[in-house]
Every structure is written in C-alpha cells, then in structure tokens.
Amino acid sequence: MKNKLLVVGSMNMDIVQKVQAFPLPGETIHGGETAFYPGGKGANQAVAAARAGGDCAMVGAVGSDPFADTLIGGLEEQGVQAGLVRKKSGASGIAIITVNGEGENTIVLSPGANGLLSANDALSALPDWSGVYAVLLQNEIPPETTDEVIRAAAAAGVRVYLNPAPARELSNELMAFIDTLIVNETEAAAVSGMRVTDSDSAKKAAERLALMGAGTVIVTLGDKGCICRDGNGGMLEVPAFRASPVDTTAAGDTFIGAYAAAMSRGSGTRESLVFASAAAALAVGKAGAQASIPSEEEIVAFIGLAKTNGISL
C-alpha cells in the first residue's frame, strides 16, 4: 500500500521572543519570555503528519552546531523517521520569531544548512518511491532542489503536495506536476496575481491556479476557514473551528501535515479538510511550532466535541 509521506524541506531552531507589541523601526523595547523550539516549515509539516497518524520521513539538512542533534532528536521523538537528514558544515537554520500580545508573529529566517541542501543531496537520500503516497515540499530550501524533487516525484507517479512559502513565481510547466497546491491568502495572491481577502476571492484565485496547471488547490483563510478546488472543478468550503490564538506560528504547517496524513490513509477530501482544520485550531492555542502540534487522538476528540455541541461539519 502506498501510504508513506516524505517531507523534503527546512529544519530550523526557532528562537521565540514574547513582546506586548512589535517594536517600531529604531525602537528598543522590553521583551518577555524567550524560548527555543525545533521548527522549520518542512520539519513542522513532518511532525504534524506523524502526530496525525501518518507514516512520515524527513529529508533535510542541519549544520554542525549544537542545534543539529536537538533538531534531529526532536523529529525522532515525534515519530518522524530522520535517517535521511543530511549534516552540513556551519550553522543550522534559525528563525527569530517575535510574538505579540494578540498571538500574531513576525519571523526573520536565516537558512543556514537549509540553503545547502542540493538536489543531489535530496534525490540521493530518497528511498525507492514505490511505497510513497506523496512528497510534501515548501520554499525554505533552494528552489532548484524543490523543482528537481517535484519533477522526480511526478516522473515516479508520486503525488506532489506543494506549499509555496515563502511565495515565489511558479512556471506553468512546474505547476502541471503539482497534485495539490496548498496556500494561504498571501501565497495565493503572490502566485496567482489576484488579491485574496475572503472566500469568494479565494475561489477565483483557486480557479486561476488550476488554469496554471495545479490539480487540487486549497486556500486557507485563517478564522474564515478554507476552500478547496478539486481536480474536476468542484469547489468545497470548510469553516474554521473556533480558537483562542496564543501563537499562530505553525498553524499552516499543522494543517498541511494533518491533511496529508488523513489523505494518505484513504480519508475523503472533505473529511481530510475538517481533520486538518481541527488540527490547526488546536495548534494556535499553544506556544511554539512543533510543541503546539496536536496528536491524532486530540484532533479526533476535538472534532467529536464539536459534533456533540451541534457544530455542522
């Protein structure tokens, strides 16, 4: 059975600084608690997939600094297979994250070893594609590495799930290899060239992205839920679960990993979107990236409670 998930992407140490309000240019302010959390969009998605019940392996790179073993160990503790992670000379990736009193965040990313992950590194590390359901990619490793992995996966008949974050222009040739494109409002606007502010504009952007070649297009809209344009032109809309934000850092990555895990075990698209939305709602209620990602049991219980309370899913 093809149910394995491979994540090819970034691994970072997130240094999270709490503040009451973001500083203005040139302003010095007093901060609150400082914390260190394993993160990176690739690693976050891998942990989310594994914790949501997926069979997941990580392909990435860490440096030769003290953070390297912490990052690899963090994956393994969460059930992610980390034997394909490469070690590079120099620093591991670092993200400096500032979180304000409303749970909003700003992020400064230093790629470190992530920027040294070559296409040859990634493709030589990959096992036989035969048992792989999908490969998950983002944009925090060199673009040529991402592009070559996309082409190789497509050639092997493996689904490609792409989250183009940070957003960059994607050619129609590359888009044709993408089974599922998952974007938030900002990413949808950047890739489609259309402003996205609500579900109606998200649907129009999704149609544009499908015309560019993507198969299924999912646009996440935060507390407004998400929309999904499937490969046959059908449109689904799933509302968000109510949440009290503490830290939104890994909400999108949690959604993607949980969605991929649900799809890999044969759940339908709507069921998988509901599962992913519940996972994201739980994630924003805790601080940290991987530390905030819920387990499959927590997600299922959360959905069950929503149904008990009469919420239509």
Q: Contact at 8 Å (CB) between 221 and 252?
A: no
Q: Which two tokens stand for residue 117?
A: 């992950």
Measured in degrees and rounded to the nearest 5, phi and psi for residue 242 equal -70, 135
Q: Contact at 8 Å (CB) between 239 and 226?
A: no
Give the distance from CA 311 to its chain's centroid.
26
* Kind of pairing between the strands at 61-62 and 86-87: parallel
Q: Which two tokens stand for residue 303?
A: 């959905």
Q: Which two tokens stand for residue 251?
A: 């909400």
> Quick check: is 179 catalytic?
no
User: Using CA atoms, how far apart are residues 151 and 8, in angstroms rounded to an integer?
Assistant: 13
Q: Which two tokens stand for residue 209?
A: 């992205």
Q: Which residues pair with 184 in a beta bridge?
A: 220
| Catalytic residue list | 253
